[in-house]
């Protein structure tokens, strides 16, 4: 069933767990993710990022996401991840995405605020919820992004939230997208400061490869949405590699089942860490 982003996050924030937001690039990813959520009775966010459109076009994936959400027996939110322009965000709203992340993190603060505010204004009219990013969640394979001066500033976070009235804020505390070279050490103190100052649902991007301890500290200190993409892709790739190595007569249908199964297993593993099981 469709449940609004704000509602899913409100429950997670009050009850100190996180909802997994899983990037689904295929039908198999989406099927596996929803099966995992139903099996664990967990709410779930399924999402697609703009950088993923070249191989998973939004217009083709939207009907899959929406049908999955409508038919599911647990709360599902269909979310656009890292929308890079107003045009993309509006396209997603028209397709039925219930929430949008506008990513203006690379822009100067005032420009990020201006753009985010404009998107919030449109979203409110259409009953769509908005996540924005402050600080910069970079890439694990970029040396430039492995530095602390891209962390979210506490004072700026309060100013940004007051100005834009967003529903959730993605923060940078040492988290990075992609495959970490070494397990990251998140700055939990910074997270606590941001949470104490704002009391707004916070989002952790770059969930794949985070340590058990950091996940726990995050979900008990205001992080109530955790994005996971790379871990699912790795799980599917590894499963297929094993399948082709061990099966003498591989076939396409079995391969598709393997992909669904691997997606499901990866999502289950993360939901248990996020303590969202049994919350639906």
Q: Which residue among 136, 154, 163, 178 contacts ligand 13P (CB under 6 A)?
A: 178
Catalytic (active site) residue 103: no
230 binds ligand 13P (CB under 6 A): yes
Beta bridge partners of 171: 134, 204
Q: Which is nearer to ligand 13P, 144 or 251 (CB)?
A: 144
Q: Under the criterion CB under 6 A, does residue 228 sit at the interface with ligand 13P?
A: yes
Which has the closest alpha carbon to 76: 85, 88, 68? 68
Q: Is 184 in the site for ligand 13P (CB under 6 A)?
A: no
Question: Is position 177 an interface residue for ligand 13P (rule: CB under 6 A)?
Answer: yes
Contacts of 75 (CB under 8 A, 6+ apart): 1, 2, 3, 7, 8, 43, 44, 280
Q: Which positions from 202 through 221 interact with ligand 13P, judged by CB under 6 A? A: 205-208
**Binding ligand 13P by CB under 6 A: which of 68, 152, 227, 276?**
227
Are the C-beta atoms of 239 and 263 separated by less than 8 Å? no
Contacts of ligand 13P in 4-43 (CB under 6 A):
23
Residue 49 makes contact with ligand 13P by CB under 6 A: yes
Count the residues of the shown chain that bind ligand 13P, applying the rule CB under 6 A: 15
Distance CA 22, CA 1 (A): 17
Positions annotated as catalytic residues are 81
Footprint of ligand 13P on this chain (CB under 6 A)?
A: 23, 49, 81-82, 177-178, 205-208, 227-231
């Amino acid at each position: 069933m469709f449940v609004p982003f704000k509602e899913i996050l409100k429950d997670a924030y009050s009850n100190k767990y996180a909802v997994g937001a899983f990037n689904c690039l295929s039908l198999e990813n989406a099927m596996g993710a929803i099966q995992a959520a139903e099996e664990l009775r967990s709410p779930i966010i399924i999402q697609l990022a703009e950088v993923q459109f070249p191989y998973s076009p939004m217009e083709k994936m939207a009907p899959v996401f929406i049908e999955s959400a409508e038919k599911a027996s647990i709360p599902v939110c269909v979310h656009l991840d890292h929308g890079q322009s107003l045009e993309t965000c509006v396209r997603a709203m028209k397709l039925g995405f219930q929430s949008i992340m506008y990513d203006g993190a690379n822009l100067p603060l005032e420009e990020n605020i201006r753009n985010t505010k404009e998107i919030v204004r449109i979203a409110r009219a259409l009953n769509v919820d908005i996540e924005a990013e402050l600080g910069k969640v970079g890439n694990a394979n970029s040396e430039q992004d492995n530095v602390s001066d891209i962390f979210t500033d506490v004072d700026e976070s309060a100013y940004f939230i007051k100005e834009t009235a967003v529903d959730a804020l993605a923060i940078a505390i040492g988290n990075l997208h992609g495959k970490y070279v070494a397990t990251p050490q998140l700055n939990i103190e910074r997270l606590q400061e941001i949470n104490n100052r704002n009391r707004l649902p916070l989002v952790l991007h770059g969930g794949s490869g985070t340590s058990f301890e950091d996940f726990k500290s995050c979900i008990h200190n205001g992080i109530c949405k955790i994005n996971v993409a790379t871990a699912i892709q790795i799980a599917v790739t590894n499963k297929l590699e094993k399948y082709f190595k061990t099966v003498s007569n591989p076939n396409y249908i079995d391969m598709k089942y393997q992909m669904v199964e691997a997606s499901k297993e990866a999502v289950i593993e993360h939901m248990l860490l996020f303590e969202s099981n049994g919350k639906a």
